[in-house]
């Protein structure tokens, strides 16, 4: 990432409350990963596995832990000692994420805005955005090109809605939310009555989706609206790309889930859950607070205790890994069993 204006190592050290080892006047133009950092770049070192990259790096400035003594700076190189180089590096990223500051107080002439919609004066409405009737857009919210909001959609303040997002009617989105490109919020839940002749009758999906504050939703993720009532995403939830959340699901606050998770209808996920990639969760069950589900786990019934789980059906992680280890020994055990069968038959005439 390139700074808009170069910064001296002294400026950066002051921002991070760090201690400089080396020159204070060297200028930094970019932030970069340690493997690729070059002259003029700032990077960080936080893991001994990357020591080889640090020893070879020509980065002008490196964030290192307090008391770092594994290497000395090269000539012209600067170390800044901080308590946590990893977090300090991301602090710089956050402070210099200025791209979206250019979007404010604008409505593109190609945008279509239906009647009785209220848009804050500080909001940004991009090209070819379509906004239905009776919508509300809050202060400093950015809606980027080709996004569609159906009727009665409410979006709070300081939100960032990327291109090609679709929010179906009656969707409610809180403050400080980010929704990435291609996400669909409020699409029909998968609800059908199977008839005796094998055909299906569609069940109307008349509810909505309610998203709390400080939520982030990844690209091409889909969240279905409720049959009645609401599909609820509580405050602080972080959802990766390509996640499917079915109708009437409730996701507890500060839960995070990785890509390709699928949650079936009417399931309630507790607070502070951590759900890894490709986990599948059945419908009409509950998962307790503070549960971690390892990748590719399949959850067919409720989990009532916090903990780390793995498998299909999931078990506590330690138990699940013991079972896996035992399963890996089955070929050898089968060979031993067959050997014993032959001995019993040849020596004692016992056939089992």
Give the tens place of pLDDT for each residue, 222-273: 999 999 999 999 999 999 999 999 999 999 999 999 999 999 999 999 999 9
Indicate the domain borders of the chain: 2-97, 104-319, 322-352
Whether residue 247 lies in the annotated active site: yes
Residues 6 or more apart whose CB falls under 8 angstroms from that of 333 comprise: none
pLDDT (tens digit per residue) in 5-43? 899 999 999 999 999 998 777 899 999 999 999 999 999
CATH number of 104-319: 2.160.10.10
SS3 letters across 294-347:
CCCCEECCCECCCEEEEECCEEEHHHHHHHHHHHHCHHHHHHHHHHHHHHHHHH
Is residue 34 a contact partner of residue 53, using CB atoms and an 8 Å limit? Answer: yes
Greater confidence (317 vs 172) lies with: 172
Is residue 272 a contact partner of residue 290, using CB atoms and an 8 Å limit? Answer: yes
Residue among 108, 180, 247, 284 flagged as catalytic: 247
The domain 2-97 having CATH identifier 3.40.1390.10: the answer here is yes
3-state helix, strand, coil in the chain (%, to 5): 20, 30, 50
Crossing angle between the packed helical segments 317-328 and 330-348, to the nearest 10 degrees: 50
pLDDT of the residue at 175: 98
Instruction: Determine if the pTM surpasses 0.75.
Output: yes
């Amino acid at each position: 990432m390139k700074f808009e204006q170069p910064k001296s190592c002294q400026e950066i050290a002051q921002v991070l409350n760090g201690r400089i080892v080396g020159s204070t006047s060297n200028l930094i133009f970019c932030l970069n990963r340690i493997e690729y950092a070059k002259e003029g770049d700032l990077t960080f070192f936080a893991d001994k596995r990357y020591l080889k990259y640090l020893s070879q790096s020509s980065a002008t400035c490196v964030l290192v832990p307090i008391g770092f003594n594994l290497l000395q700076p090269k000539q012209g190189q600067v170390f800044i000692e901080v308590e946590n180089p990893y977090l300090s590096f991301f602090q710089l990223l956050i402070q210099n994420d200025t791209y979206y500051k250019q979007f404010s107080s604008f409505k593109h002439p190609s945008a279509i805005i239906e009647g009785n919609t209220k848009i804050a004066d500080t909001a940004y409405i991009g090209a070819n955005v379509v906004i239905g009737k009776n919508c509300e857009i809050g202060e400093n919210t950015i809606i980027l090109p080709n996004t569609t909001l159906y009727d009665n959609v409410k979006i709070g303040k300081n939100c960032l809605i990327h291109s090609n997002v679709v929010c179906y009617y009656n969707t409610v989105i809180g403050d400080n939310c980010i929704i990435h490109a291609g996400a669909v919020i409020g699409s029909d839940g998968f609800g059908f009555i199977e008839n005796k002749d094998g055909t299906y009758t569609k069940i109307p999906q008349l509810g909505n989706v309610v998203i709390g504050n400080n939520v982030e939703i990844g690209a091409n993720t889909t969240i279905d609206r409720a049959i009645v009532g609401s599909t609820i995403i509580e405050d602080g939830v972080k959802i990766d790309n390509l996640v499917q959340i079915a109708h009437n699901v409730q996701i507890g606050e500060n839960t995070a889930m990785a890509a390709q998770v699928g949650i079936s209808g009417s399931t309630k996920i507790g607070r502070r859950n951590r759900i890894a990639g490709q986990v599948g969760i059945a419908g009409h069950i509950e998962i307790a607070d503070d549960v971690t589900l390892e990748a590719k786990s399949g959850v067919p019934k409720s989990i009532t205790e916090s903990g780390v789980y793995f498998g299909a059906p999931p078990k506590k992680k330690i138990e699940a890994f013991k079972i896996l280890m035992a399963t890996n020994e089955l070929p050898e055990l089968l060979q031993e069993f067959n050997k014993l069968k032959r001995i019993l038959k040849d020596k004692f005439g016992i056939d089992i």
